[in-house]
A = this chain, B = another copy of it.
Amino acid sequence: MTTLPRHKPVSDASLRAFAGYHMKRAFNVIKADLIETLKPFDLRMVTYSTLVLIVDNPGLRQAQMADALMIERPNFVAIIDELETAGLITRQRAPEDRRAYALMATLSGQAQCKWATEAVNAHEHRVFGVLSDAERRLLLSALGKIEINAAQ
């Protein structure tokens, strides 16, 4: 008896004309799956990315890491605190510049990074496994072009 039926389908045809809308929707599902993937390791997307960068680039300063991750320096403090409290990284005063900290992964941090990366690889396989190798290559190529184009 409702003239406004409750489950009338909503048309998003106009939005679907935009590639950006599809990017957002696809990225939303990827993000949701990644968050679940990292939860057992007590890592968030940003703490996982940071941990990987510290493992791969031992000894760098906070400001350098923050720049690479495009995170504002003040916001990076809590992220580093979180990883340090979890025993995954250490802050070491840089001997030649006592204002700066050099960031290093602990042995535990290296192990955690390796295990989490295995889980993230499984996540990537789950999410992008629907694509053929050719599709996946073309997706990466297209994404790269979009990013480079914007930097001009």
- Residue numbers of A with Cβ under 8 A of B are 1-4, 6, 8, 10-15, 18-30, 32-34, 49, 52-53, 55-57, 59-61, 64-65, 67-68, 70, 94, 96-97, 100, 102, 117, 120, 123-124, 127-131, 135-136, 138-151
Distance of A11 from chain B, by nearest CB (Å): 5
Residues from chain B with Cβ under 8 Å of A124 in the complex:
18-20
Residue of B nearest to A67 (CB): B10
Counted per complex, copies of this chain come to 2
Main secondary structure of the interface of A (DSSP, over half): helix
- Expressed in whole angstroms, the Cα–Cα distance for A34 and B19 within the complex equals 12
Q: Which B residues lie within 8 Å of A1 (CB)? A: 96
Known: A147-B25, A149-B130. Is A30-B34 also a contact (CB below 8 A)?
Answer: no
Contacting pair A56 B11 (CB below 8 A): yes
The one of B28, B94, B129, B146 that contacts A128, using a Cβ cutoff of 8 Å: B146
24 contacts between A and B (CB under 8 A): A1-B96, A4-B59, A4-B60, A10-B67, A10-B68, A12-B53, A14-B52, A19-B127, A19-B136, A19-B143, A20-B34, A20-B124, A21-B49, A23-B26, A23-B143, A26-B147, A27-B27, A29-B151, A131-B142, A131-B146, A135-B138, A135-B142, A139-B139, A139-B142
